[in-house]
Amino acid sequence: MKSKIESSFLKLKSYCEAESFAGWDPYDGLNSKIFNALPFKHWDLARLAWIQGFKRSPINFRKLLLVPKEHNAKGIGLFLSGYCNLYDLALEGETDFGTKEDLLSKINELANLLDELKNKNFSGACWGYNFPWQARRLFLFPKDTPTVVATTFCVEALFKAYEITKNKDFKNLALSAANFVMNDLNRTPHHSGFLFSYSPYKGNNTVYNASLLGAKTLSLCYKYSKKKIYKQTALKAIKAACDSQEKDGSWVYGLLPVQSWKDSFHTGYNLDAISVYKQCTGDHQFEENIKKGFDYYIQNFFEKEGVPKYYNNKTYPIDIHCPGQLFVTLSKLNKFKNNKVLADSVLNWSIQNMQSPKGFFYYQFKKLISSKISYMRWSNAFMFNAMSTYLKENHTLDV
């Protein structure tokens, strides 16, 4: 089992490095040079249909329709976190995934790339996606619109890179993102606190995981700056989400009627963020929320034989995020050791069913026709960080 997992990861690593960490995305349809030459680009329904057509099709039309492979900031953040995990392994003498020197070179390369990819038009460092994004008919985010989700993944990775390299530029870049969260994100009053918005623009102001990721960024920045305002502000967002947690420990995705589903990986994001707040601030008042949420997560999103479910009440489509987030959540909550059997079975299932012989991971596994397109941010970067987390935790158990 161990050799199979290591072989799988090395194939993924080789694939991503050969592609220079650039690729396509499920939502990048509006980057099509063909579409942008047509008048339909000004019509919201046409934009929405175009994006959804690309996302849902099991056939990849991107080459034909001139969608370029590009770097995605969140993807680069995930790769950076993953290489930091591999460097930690190398420090322990596990150099099958690279020498300390090679891994340090990649860490510096990716951290500097994040600096290049940042959006400079807001109060602090922030990152978005390399494509315009139409969400239903509610709003259109232009290309590179910063989001709290992308920003948080980048911030966490930069702090990890700082811990390894001691390069204060990486720390200062990450710390400046607190200004973006504090000054540029909207706040929706909710229960005893508020929800951070997904982006600085109107639309998507009602999503629990996005708000909690804003709190996570502030928690990490508090750890490295000790500015009390970051802790106090993060606390309000944590309270709002925990006040909204249902009695069984679950969360719906958001406040709107169209956001009432419960899914696996966003539940993992929530638990991750609350746990990071606890670790960075020393505030343990949400221990019961974490416990209830984790119990719900483990009991409702994984079937026998390691099959990861997308929703609490149905299995398909199985998104690659569903297995991937498990290993990160177990690590953040210090639950890996007690759930190693589950982690092993989920990873084994994922390798067997969702990895190409070429090394990349598929987007979604379905009952009938699965989407086997290689997406660099969504699938490969996510699994790169997830599997490196698994390997690091597993090594700790073996020592």
Q: How far is CA 151 from the centre of its chain?
A: 10
- Say what the pLDDT of residue 241 is: 98
Mean pLDDT, residues 287-299: 98
pLDDT bin (cut points 50, 70, 90) of residue 172 is: very high
Candidates 130, 141, 126; CA nearest to 182 is 126
- Say what the pLDDT of residue 240 is: 98
Q: Are 283 and 328 spatial neighbours (Cβ–Cβ below 8 Å)?
A: no
Mean pLDDT, residues 312-335: 96
Mean pLDDT for all residues in the chain: 95
193: DSSP letter: E
∠ at Cα 363 (106, 370), nearest 5°?
Answer: 150
pLDDT bin (cut points 50, 70, 90) of residue 136 is: low
The verdict on pTM exceeding 0.85 is yes
- Say what the pLDDT of residue 141 is: 85
Amino acid occupying residue 296: Y
- Residue 363 tokens, joined: 């987007």
Burial class (CB in 10 A: 0-12, 13-18, 19+), 292: middle
Helix (H) or strand (E) holding 135: strand 133-135
- Say what the pLDDT of residue 123 is: 98
The model's pLDDT over 69-121, given as tens digits with 9 standing for 90+, comes to: 999 999 999 999 999 999 999 999 999 999 999 999 999 999 999 999 999 99
- Say what the pLDDT of residue 67 is: 97
Mean pLDDT, residues 16-34: 97
Q: For the chain, give the number of residues.
A: 399
User: Would you tell me how many other CB atoms lie within 10 Å of the CB of residue 251?
Assistant: 24
Q: Are 143 and 84 spatial neighbours (Cβ–Cβ below 8 Å)?
A: no
pLDDT bin (cut points 50, 70, 90) of residue 133 is: confident
DSSP collapsed to 3 states, 332-344: HCCCCHHHHHHHH
- Say what the pLDDT of residue 138 is: 59
Q: Is the pLDDT of residue 139 over 80?
A: no
∠ at Cα 30 (140, 152), nearest 5°?
Answer: 60
| Residues with Cβ within 8 Å of residue 357, at least 6 apart in sequence | none
Q: DSSP strand E in the chain: where? A: 133-135, 139-141, 187-190, 193-196, 318-319, 364-365
- Say what the pLDDT of residue 137 is: 58
User: Would you tell me how many other CB atoms lie within 10 Å of the CB of residue 311?
Assistant: 15
- Say what the pLDDT of residue 145 is: 95
Least confident window among 100-104, 305-309, 385-389: 305-309
- Say what the pLDDT of residue 40 is: 84
